[in-house]
Structure 1
């Protein structure tokens, strides 16, 4: 047998003594070194199942060194645990029984020929008791970064005084290096597996995130689409987008190919601009006409949308993301409110029923979805309707002309009672079901009829129609009722004014007869009166009241314009061409209008008899205006004569006319009279609010 140099031959007696007297605290320090323990934890090997590579090494060591026990021992805080063991039953021992703990401070093989004679191990219970081990040799398991995790050790129950050769120590150390290599490989495989697991988990998370994103994208209430390339080819679209375009097949196609109707409305120009400039395009309440398929008419909708450029890593635009919402109902609600706010003004001065209905129909068209909308005149006796040219969507045929109500069901009875007829589906309503084929011939699937009643009689019908069945919302029905109420109110106003006109004409006729009778009685009674001027003045004053009455009659006896009163009272004067008058467009209340007409009559009569109108070259200028702040405004009336004889103040007892002029417009004065050589000048002032009272 070959002779080997013994390991102990290289150690002096002093070194051996020092090793055997190693302080216990130094072993504990190495044992509990946190950096070493962290390195051990990093390999994640404690308490793992047996592995063939480690088992093969201990079996090989046992045979190579002819020992009964070989172990791969890993030293933890409070125990040593055996990753591989051969000839030893226990899988771990307490740290107090660990011989390997003494090998943690060295990079060399620890050899103890007789454990009973070494101070470090003599009292170890594995030495003093079963299995009564006697020999120990352990090669440290040193990691690449220099940490000792434990040993590959061999144990014999017989001491070996001859020690351990250098070659044997090198062999044991090489086997220990193989254990470390297995640990490193196991760590690398674990790290690889961990990376693979993390990658798989990341893929799973990414796939889950993508699934959630796709689900969110698909279920989003707003419509979304991803376009790629300068030709704007569809890459993704969600359900809302598909619904908006009528579920047409768009993926893989360009916008021009998939939606020719959109291309015609300028959508391509917008997309080209965004792709070319890289600038986001934003639109609010943009009108869009959608035609899901060629068999159905187009539908007008309103959309808010954003076209956002999509860029690559180099910042180049590669596509466009579209995100938007259908805001048709919101926009129509705004239009309904606007239409209702404006309708009162649009109907205020209209006095023709057909024009009222025409304007009401236009307001309906702006606030309601429809395929056909319009109105027609009704002949209740024959139960027919003459439909005027209506408003229609492109592709919807006209139904202008005369139609018999009974050919289309029984809802004429509702209209006669002034009830609005709402039929969401002509096939399902009992009033129209039997006439469904007739409705189909003229493309009516749903209808709404709003009656217009005049004098208690059905005269017109406003209609809204859809080719397909259509459910009118509560907001739409409310809007229709509001339009109907305003329309009926405007027509009722016409009826009331017509009735008032008849009444006024009757009153006028009777009042004129009364005034004529007063004049006749006065003429007969005053026939013998020698002062004919007074009789004539009385008659003329009655005539002036009659003229003022005619002016007031035009406004139902509520007010009269100053200009109209002046013009009417002075019209009978032969010198009217010498009278110039001007002033603001102002109305006076009924009482003030009568007083004002008498004052004008007296001033005109005096001018004709004694003043400027008594000579050919004489002139009269009449001016009126409003002066002063709004809350204290005054009506100012000026009468100025020129070119006539000098004006002289009346002497003695004043007549009725002079007294009337003197007390002014309200009977309380406010009159300035100037009698000059140039002619008479009169200025009258009165509170405007008082004069405009009815």
Structure 2
């Protein structure tokens, strides 16, 4: 639940008063006014010793003055466990009062001490009890008050530290005019200003008006529905140089609501992803350039091969096989380039490679398996294996006639740390299969399997009903966490 600290302080039953470095009273809550029997307009702007006079030679004056001076000189909190400080009544008489006070320094955005926050507790009754119950009772209760003050101070300090150290930028806007109530250092650095507190958004950041963000905040405030911005572009001027004023942000405008549903403010929280977006843009350009150069290289390799084999007798068949393998490699490279060399799915790899060699599958090649992602290294190796299996099926196997079928299935199993990919190619309905007397390059490539640090196995069986090839590879352990060999399955 969001907390309005100013409203909380105003409603607190504990007296609080804020003094500047000249010990002038700049703010106090209702509890303070009640306990001192004063009106706000009568004491705001006056010094502490002017608003509440005391004999400069008295112990009360000395205690209070010394405590204030200690805070101003050291920047450290000071506590007065018990002090007598008489208060004038509205009728002109004086009330004898005993107090316990804590003086806490408050710093500005530049780190220098700006204010002193005084938390006072009227312990007059405790002092009177001390006279009745002797000193022991009063001391214990005074210590309890001191302990409570320390706990409250520590808790308030922790809350402020949590806010300041929150990941990303955070700001709190109050009311329909979106007045800045709080903002951490990350937010101030983002907008390039440190003077926005207490100002409405239109005054603090005028450049965002024409960019539509005020309208979005108005809608969040009126509807109570949050707004999530994903890679929204914004221009923030402030002290930012022009090159740094254009930012890309992920953020949320989260309404702050009361128990009755009334919106009282908005929390702005998010992250600056400008560098991430720029990196992705540069990466995309580099990949496009790499793709262009690889395509040119493959074209040069193909041209060199044609010139080399042109005068070699009976080389047409070998040249066609060589070209087909180059095309398979180019197709796999194109698939990976389209996804910026991010993981590619097994289904995409098989569909692309088989259709490139065989044309429309038309039910002749049946694919069955999850949409599991493989990293580029594994994807390229699997592409070449599927290409060789498809080529053999077209020449000698199930795809060499009109009735044959190929079933391609894959599955993934995990033991919690490592994952194993099982890939099965099964042909049926083609000519009777016999194991060849010698293995060609394609068969050797298939048997080499997929390179993996954990090992790979290939089982090729020349069954009379059709070729069966089962490939298993243990993917690198910890891949799911480290983005290594594999990536998790995605919805189909």
TM range (shorter): 0.3 to 0.5
TM-score, normalised via structure 2 length: 0.48
Between 1 and 2, higher relative CO (CA 8 Å, sep ≥ 6) is seen in 2
TM-score, normalised via structure 1 length: 0.35
